[in-house]
Structure 1
Amino acid sequence: MGTWRLAPHDPGAPVPSLTVRPLDGCRGVRAAGEVALATHTIWERVLERAVREGEGVYHLELSEVTFVDVAGAGALAAAAERLGDGRRFVVRRPPPTLRRVLETFWPDLSTIEVSMS
Structure 2
Amino acid sequence: MSTRRRTSHGPGTPVPSLTVRPLDGCRGVRAAGEIGLATHTIWERVLEQAVREGEGVYYLELSEVTFVDVAGADALAAAAERLGDGRRFVVRRPPPALRRVLEMFWPDLPTIEVSMS
So what's the TM-score if we normalise by structure 2? 0.96
Structure 2 residue ranges without an equivalent (≥5): none
Identity fraction in percent: 84
- Answer whether contact 2:27 2:55 (CA < 8 A) is retained: no
Q: Which residue does the alignment assign to 1:69?
A: 69
CA apart distance, 1:77: 0.1
CA distance in 2, matches of 1:72, 1:60: 13
So what's the TM-score if we normalise by structure 1? 0.96
- Answer whether contact 1:31 1:62 (CA < 8 A) is retained: yes
CA distance in 2, matches of 1:50, 1:90: 11
Q: Which residue does the alignment assign to 2:44?
A: 44
CA apart distance, 1:11: 6.4
CA apart distance, 1:73: 0.1
Q: Which residue does the alignment assign to 1:6?
A: 5
Give the RMSD, CA atoms, in angstroms.
0.9
The one-letter amino acid paired with 1:7 is R
CA apart distance, 1:15: 2.1
4+ long deviations beyond 6 Å: none
Alignment: residue pair count: 116
Secondary structure of 2:4's counterpart equals strand
The one-letter amino acid paired with 2:41 is T
Secondary structure of 1:90's counterpart equals strand
Structure 1 residue ranges without an equivalent (≥5): none
Q: Which residue does the alignment assign to 1:111?
A: 111
CA distance in 1, matches of 2:23, 2:54: 16
